[in-house]
């Protein structure tokens, strides 16, 4: 490293040097063969770039990648830097988990759907919550009117979670809960149910998303200012490391960053930058990197530009392994493994000619598998319209089964490894990600960059550029701005009944009547005192409040009182 050079800028400069290559063979071919051909047949007047705005050449050859690629940049599967996959035998050993995200309406509806999935052999449950739950509002808040059960299941207190998991043995399933701002409260509810069922805490398995940085960046579901949420997540990390060793407490998510309009490389860079922040946070909280970092997992998007997605996922694995070893001094291989879930892109789906979405999802799922994903959710063809119908979900699941059972792509690890184009693009994605890491550090780190609105602006600019390109016909969505049809017939979609809201209001009022008010008040006061002391772990106090049937909003309100709320920086 040169003097005053940070790790990030040093690595960025090296990657730039590595990828800036003379290619006399390409130049000679271009002059001798390509140019005359183009002059004879005519150029196609089009920019060939991908979502990351990286120009793509006519063809790639060995001169486009470093000579030591195999030895230094790839390794073999299951070996550092894990570009080719985190397991030696990849899908021969075990297929990815087909984890379909579900949750809608009332806790009763969701309980029924979960039991249905368990009966059909699924042990990996994945729960979606509705908007009021995600923002820490009870069902009886006026703001929740009309929103109950619409985008997921509604939870206002432990009573609702008891219904969701009624008859489900928590020692036999793993549960993924997609929730962020109130993640500690929902984790406490899950622990409370485990305790009631008599399941030892070290048997409770699952994941809570709890990636609050990407909320400020993209999904915008926060309650308090960033520092307050980060502190609560730190408390949960420490508590879970000590008490629930099978609970993955952060799923670092690029999915929402991408859906909010970022490019593939922005998704890669901002997600990993969030990940590095959590690693720093764990180390600062006194945890050993080799003890807690293996509990961090990732969640990526797979969109429609096939090779770009594959390159992104391969680059992500390599970057994580290298940075964890080089910068954070991880010693165990397990710490270096970037494990990830993938979901196909919702944004790539069209409202028009919805059956075409099955094809889009298939291509995206294939990219996720060729990129080496550990689990996968395939979107249903009707999801541009609403939550999926049962028939559409089944086709989405069958899509994964066809890829796994019929196509042969699972027979060998990293089948695209060594492709000049894929390797060049993987290197380029890595370089561009480091350009962002360097830039983010110059701004004082990811938290400062988010608070300044820089990351959000970068994403909005990409999203706007893409929209304009669509309007100008420079990018195509079949059925939307090309091959469109008149007079399309509406498809059948899932509608959530307004009964869900009545059902929830009734249970909440019953819960409030039957609980011990004095106990509720006491637990909330103790929680407030804990929140006011930076060095006290809030997690045991949240658990006590949850167990006294304090509601989601009552617990969230303690934080609102102590930490205040958050107004995002203006970026338009």
Partner 1 sequence: MEAGKNRSLFNGKPIKVLLAKPGIDGHDRGILVLAKAFRDAGMEVIYVGLLPTPEEVVDTAVNEDVDVIALSLLNGAHMTVFRKVADLLKNRKINDIAVVGGGTIPDTDKPKLEAIGISGNYGPGTPISTIVDHITQRAAEMRKLKAMEE
β-sheet bridge partners, residue 298: 252, 340
User: Of 14 and 482, which has the nearer Cβ to partner 1?
Assistant: 482
211 part of the interface to partner 1, by CB under 8 A: no
User: Using the rule CB under 8 A, which residue among 26, 135, 190, 277 binds partner 1?
Assistant: 135
Give the CA count within 13 Å in the CB-facing half-sphere of 448. 8
352 part of the interface to partner 1, by CB under 8 A: yes
263 part of the interface to partner 1, by CB under 8 A: no
User: Using the rule CB under 8 A, which residue among 7, 29, 351, 420 binds partner 1?
Assistant: 351
What whole-number distance in Å separates Cα of residue 501 and Cα of residue 524? 26
Least distance between partner 1 and beta carbon 456 (Å): 9
User: Using the rule CB under 8 A, which residue among 96, 249, 385, 434 binds partner 1?
Assistant: 385
User: Of 107 and 132, which has the nearer Cβ to partner 1?
Assistant: 132
User: Using the rule CB under 8 A, which residue among 192, 403, 496, 552 binds partner 1?
Assistant: 496
Least distance between partner 1 and beta carbon 132 (Å): 6
Tell me which residue of 432, 420, 312 sits closest to 11, measured CA to CA. Answer: 432
Paired tokens of 318: 């390599």
53 part of the interface to partner 1, by CB under 8 A: no
Name the pairing type of β-strands 205-208 and 340-344: unpaired
Build a one-symbol-per-residue string for 398-437: x at contacts with partner 1 by CB under 8 A, - elsewhere: ----------------------------------------
**C-alpha of 560 from chain center:** 26
490 part of the interface to partner 1, by CB under 8 A: yes
571 part of the interface to partner 1, by CB under 8 A: yes
User: Of 42 and 487, which has the nearer Cβ to partner 1?
Assistant: 487
Question: Interaction with partner 1 in 149-168: which residues (CB under 8 A)?
Answer: 150-151
568 part of the interface to partner 1, by CB under 8 A: yes
567 part of the interface to partner 1, by CB under 8 A: yes
β-sheet bridge partners, residue 247: 206
Residues 6+ apart with CB under 8 A from 170: 190, 193, 194, 197, 199, 203, 204
121 part of the interface to partner 1, by CB under 8 A: no
Number of residues located near partner 1, criterion CB under 8 A: 44
Least distance between partner 1 and beta carbon 313 (Å): 23
DSSP structural state of residue 88: S
User: Using the rule CB under 8 A, which residue among 480, 505, 529, 562 binds partner 1?
Assistant: 480
What whole-number distance in Å separates Cα of residue 298 and Cα of residue 278? 12
219 part of the interface to partner 1, by CB under 8 A: yes
In terms of C-beta density within 10 A (0-12 exposed, 13-18 middle, 19 or more buried), how is residue 80 classed?
A: middle
572 part of the interface to partner 1, by CB under 8 A: yes
Element of type H or E holding 162: helix 158-164
CB burial of 129-161 (b: ≥16 within 10 Å; e: otherwise) equals bbbbbbbbbbbbeeebeebbbbbbbbbbbbbbb
384 part of the interface to partner 1, by CB under 8 A: yes
Residues 6+ apart with CB under 8 A from 374: 86, 96, 97, 297, 339, 340, 341
How many Cβ atoms are within 10 Å of 235's Cβ, its own excluded?
21
Least distance between partner 1 and beta carbon 466 (Å): 9
259 part of the interface to partner 1, by CB under 8 A: yes
Residues within the interface to partner 1 (CB under 8 A): 131-132, 134-135, 137, 143-147, 150-151, 215, 219-221, 259-261, 347, 350-352, 384-387, 460, 463-464, 467, 471, 477, 480-481, 490, 493, 495-496, 567-568, 570-572
């Amino acid at each position: 490293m040169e003097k005053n050079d940070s790790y990030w800028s040093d690595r960025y400069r090296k990657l730039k040097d590595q990828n800036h290559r003379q290619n006399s063979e390409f130049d000679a071919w271009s002059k001798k063969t390509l140019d005359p051909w183009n002059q004879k047949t005519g150029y196609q007047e089009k920019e060939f770039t991908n979502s990351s705005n990286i120009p793509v050449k006519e063809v790639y050859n060995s001169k486009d990648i470093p000579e030591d690629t195999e030895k230094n940049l790839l390794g073999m599967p299951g070996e550092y830097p894990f570009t080719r996959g985190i397991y030696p035998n990849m899908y021969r050993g075990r297929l990815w988990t087909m984890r379909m995200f579900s949750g809608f309406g009332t806790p009763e509806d969701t309980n029924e759907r979960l039991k249905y999935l368990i009966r059909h052999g699924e042990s990996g449950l994945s729960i979606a919550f509705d908007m009021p739950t995600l923002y820490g509002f009870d069902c009886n808040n006026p703001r929740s009117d009309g929103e109950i059960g619409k985008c997921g299941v509604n939870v206002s207190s432990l009573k609702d979670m008891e219904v969701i998991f009624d008859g489900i043995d928590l020692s036999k399933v793993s549960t993924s809960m997609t929730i962020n701002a109130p993640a500690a409260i929902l984790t406490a509810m899950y622990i409370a149910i485990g305790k009631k069922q008599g399941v030892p805490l070290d048997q409770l398995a699952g994941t809570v998303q709890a990636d609050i940085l990407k909320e400020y960046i993209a999904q915008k579901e926060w309650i308090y200012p960033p520092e307050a949420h980060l502190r609560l997540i730190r408390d949960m990390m420490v508590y879970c490391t000590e008490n629930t060793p099978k609970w993955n407490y952060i799923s670092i998510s690029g999915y929402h960053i991408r859906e909010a309009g970022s490019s593939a490389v922005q998704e890669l860079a901002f997600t990993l930058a969030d990940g590095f922040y959590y690693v720093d946070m764990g180390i600062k909280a006194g945890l050993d990197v080799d003890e807690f970092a293996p509990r961090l997992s990732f969640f990526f998007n797979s969109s429609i530009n096939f090779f770009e997605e594959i390159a992104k996922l391969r680059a992500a694995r390599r970057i994580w392994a290298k940075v964890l070893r080089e910068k954070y001094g991880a010693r165990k291989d397990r710490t270096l493994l970037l494990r990830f879930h993938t979901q196909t892109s919702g944004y790539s789906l069209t409202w028009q000619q919805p059956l075409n979405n099955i094809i889009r999802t298939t291509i995206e799922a294939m990219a996720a598998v060729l990129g080496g994903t550990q689990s996968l959710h395939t979107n249903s063809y009707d999801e541009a319209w609403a939550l999926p119908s049962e028939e559409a979900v089944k086709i989405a699941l069958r899509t994964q089964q066809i890829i796994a059972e019929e196509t042969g792509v699972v027979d060998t690890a990293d089948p695209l490894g060594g492709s000049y184009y894929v390797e060049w693009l993987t290197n380029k994605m890595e370089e561009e990600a480091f350009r962002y890491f360097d830039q983010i550090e110059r701004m004082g780190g990811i938290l400062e960059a988010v608070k300044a609105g820089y990351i959000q602006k970068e994403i909005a600019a990409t999203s706007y550029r893409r929209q304009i390109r669509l309007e100008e016909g420079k990018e195509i969505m079949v059925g939307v701005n090309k091959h469109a049809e008149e007079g399309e017939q509406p498809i059948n979609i899932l509608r959530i009944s307004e009964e869900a809201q009545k059902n929830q209001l009734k249970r909440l009022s019953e819960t409030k009547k039957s609980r011990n008010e004095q106990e509720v008040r006491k637990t909330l006061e103790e929680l407030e005192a804990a929140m006011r002391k930076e060095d006290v772990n809030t997690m045991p106090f949240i658990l006590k409040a949850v167990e006294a049937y304090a509601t989601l909003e009552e617990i969230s309100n303690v934080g609102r009182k102590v930490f205040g709320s958050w107004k995002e920086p203006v970026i338009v």
